[in-house]
Amino acid sequence: MLLFTPGPTPVPEFARVEMACETLHHRTAEFEAIFADTRELLFKLLSTDEVIILASTGTGAMEAAVTNLCHDTLLSVNSGKFGERFGKIALACGLKNVEIKNEWDTPVSVEAVVKAVKNNPNIDAVAVQISESAGGLRHPVEEIAKAVKEINPEIMIIADGITAVGVERIDIENIDCLIAGSQKALMLPPGLSILGLSNTAISKIGKGKGYYLNLAYEIKKQSQNTTAYTATTTLIIGLRSVLQKIEANGGIGKLYCDTARRAKATRFALEAIGLHSYPITPARSMTTIDDENASEIRNLLKIDFSVNVAGGQDHLKGKIFRINQMGFIEPYEMVWVVNAVELALAKLGRREFDGTASRVFNEEYFKSILKKEEK
Ligand SMILES: *Cc1c(COP(=O)(O)O)cnc(C)c1O
């Protein structure tokens, strides 16, 4: 079965092998050296002033960011389940919340954020997904961050990059906290989250908030290559191997480029067989299709063609399907996926099979090669 859900994503064999090593004690020079290597690779990936690794899923890092960086009112952007979560976290932690809500295919506008910030001087942090996984859309986070900082540079910008870090280059100039998680673009099992922090964020954190998710304490420990509590040793070993492999495979720029090409080719291929891309601004992390037969297509993909794709949640249940684009994905795998979708449409009697999807994918993905041969 090909796992094509946008989280969890497949864990490559080399990483599984690395993680099969004997258990290491976390308070040893041996593990500290691994931690130091991993930190260095993460600094390179995130380009932030500080990097913190937590033993939690992505939501733990979202909560740590909100509690440590927001002391009054959080402005959050709800164009889907993960954006909604930021607001829920703020309220559960005794903070105030202002939410900008849109349909799940609609990115927030810079103007709406600017207006909300100007209307409420108590807003001291803005939280937004870079890629909102609920509908596979890209928010204009960099533009939002710039506009908010122009109003008040003290306002913290929290960017959830759980399906963006490792997918595309993110301009962190005005971002104070960039969040990543293990089981999406980083191709690892769930259980590890990462926060990249700006120096402004570090000063706002001060002594930190809370106990387990107190970032001040973690910053102190992790800058000494250890962790406040037991480190997720196995996952960190896996993370180091993934980050090393990205470098060995031509660097992060190549991964970004391959991902962008593949996501575009997939969308073109599916549109060429009459399907509709759901988000107004598609993220590169996944291809999201809204369709009245979404459930049937998903079932056929799984049962007849051995492809596991994700459906939708809440009001989009049965209305969309989402195909992962994160991680090391071979073009031959994606060709099979778009071909399987075309076969599923034929099986549903929607369209006669003629191989359009795989042809369009190949033409788009291998455009540069095909052009060279024409000369
Ligand atoms: C998966 C995901 C999360 C975190 O979810 P966990 O289940 O806690 O790992 C947060 N934000 C986005 C955009 C995600 O895709």
Q: DSSP secondary structure string, 198-264?
A: -HHHHHHHTT-SSSTT-HHHHHHHHTTT--SS---HHHHHHHHHHHHHHHHTT-HHHHHHHHHHHHH
Q: What is the DSSP secondary-structure string of 167-179?
A: TS----TT-SEEE
- The protein residue whose alpha carbon is closest to atom 3 in ligand 1 is 58
Centroid of chain to Cα 246? 16
Do residues 137 and 80 touch, judged by C-beta distance below 8 A? yes
Q: 206 and 269: one domain? A: no
Query: Same domain for 183 and 111?
Result: yes
Task: Identify whether residues 161 and 224 lie together within a single domain.
Answer: yes
Q: Do 281 and 211 belong to one domain? A: no
- Max CA-CA distance within the chain? 65
Shared-domain flag, residues 337 and 367:
yes
Residue 276 DSSP symbol: E
Cα 80 to ligand 1 centroid, rounded to whole Å: 11
Q: 214, 248, 282: which is the final residue of a domain?
A: 248
The domain boundary, picked from 248, 270, 289, lies at 248
- Please give the single-letter amino acid code of residue 65: A
The span from the CA of 199 to the CA of 170, in Å, is: 18
pLDDT in tens, the chain (375 residues): 999 999 999 999 999 999 999 989 999 999 999 999 999 999 999 999 999 999 999 999 999 999 999 999 999 999 999 999 999 999 999 999 999 999 999 999 999 999 999 999 999 999 999 999 999 999 999 999 999 999 999 999 999 999 999 999 999 999 999 999 999 999 999 999 999 999 999 999 999 999 999 999 999 999 999 999 999 999 999 999 999 999 999 999 999 999 999 999 999 999 999 999 999 999 999 999 999 999 999 999 999 999 999 999 999 999 999 999 999 999 999 999 999 999 999 999 999 999 999 999 999 999 988 887 665
Residue 329 lies in a domain: yes
Of the three residues 198, 225, 248, the one that is the final residue of a domain is: 248
* β-bridge mates for residue 74, sequence order: 97, 125
Question: At residue 180, what are phi and psi to the nearest 5 degrees?
Answer: -130, 160
Strands (E), 92-205: 96-101, 123-129, 131-132, 137-138, 156-160, 177-181, 193-197
β-pairing, 73-78 vs 96-101, is: parallel
Residues 146 and 265 in one domain: no
The answer as to whether 4 is a domain residue is: no
**Does residue 138 fall inside a structural domain?**
yes
Sign of the torsion angle spanned by Cα atoms 243, 8, 319, 144:
negative
Q: Tokens representing 318?
A: 């049965």
How far CA 199 is from CA of 205, 225, 325, 348, in Å, comes to 10, 19, 32, 55
* Residue among 78, 79, 133 whose CB has most ligand 1 atoms within 8 A, to mutate: 133
Residue 158 placed within a domain: yes
Q: Is 285 in the pocket of ligand 1 (CB under 6 A)?
A: no
Which residue range forms the structural domain that includes residue 298? Answer: 252-374
* DSSP codes of every residue in 20-75: TSPPPPSSSHHHHHHHHHHHHHHHHHH--SEEEEESS-HHHHHHHHHHHH-SSEEE
Residue 122, token pair as written in the block: 């108590």
Radius of gyration (Cα) for the chain, nearest Å?
21
**Is residue 162 within 8 Å of 12, Cβ to Cβ?**
no
Distance 33 CA to ligand 1 centre (A): 29
Identify whether 5 is part of a domain: no
- Residue 335 domain flag: yes
Atom of ligand 1 nearest to the CA of 80: 13
CA distance 237 to 363: 38
Question: Based on the structure, what is the number of domains in the chain?
Answer: 2
Look at residue 1 and tell me if it is in a domain: no
Determine if ligand 1 sits within 6 Å of the CB of residue 56.
no
- Ligand 1, atom 6: closest residue by C-alpha: 58
CB of 9 closer than 6 A to ligand 1?
no
CATH number at residue 346: 3.90.1150.10
181 lines ligand 1 (CB under 6 A): yes
Closest-CA residue to 235 (of 16, 2, 1): 16
Task: Map residue 1 onto helix, strand or coil.
Answer: coil
Residues 74 and 48 in one domain: yes
The pLDDT score that the predictor gives to residue 371 is 83
Burial class of residue 44 (count of CB atoms within 10 Å of its CB; 0-12, 13-18, 19+): middle
Query: Rounded to an integer, what distance in angstroms lies between the CA atom of residue 12 and that of residue 32?
Result: 24
- 139, 244: one domain: yes
Q: Is 84 in the pocket of ligand 1 (CB under 6 A)?
A: no
Ligand 1 pocket test target in 129, 138, 160, 167 with most atoms within 8 Å of CB:
160
What pLDDT sits at residue 83?
98
Asked whether residue 3 is assigned to any structural domain, the reply reads: no
Residues 241 and 288 both lie in one domain:
no
Give the pLDDT of residue 190: 98
DSSP SS3 for 138: strand
Residues 181, 40: contact at Cβ < 8 Å?
Answer: no
83 lines ligand 1 (CB under 6 A): no
Per-position DSSP letters for 300-343, written without gaps between them: HHHHHH-EEEB---GGGTTTEEEEE--SS--HHHHHHHHHHHHH
Same domain, 16 and 43: yes
Q: Among 133, 145, 180, which Cα is nearest to 160's?
A: 180
Whether the CB of 160 sits within 6 Å of ligand 1: yes
* Residue 25, domain CATH: 3.40.640.10
CB of 80 closer than 6 angstroms to any ligand 1 atom: no
Asked if residue 274 and residue 174 are part of one domain, the reply reads no
Whether 299 and 201 map to the same domain: the answer is no
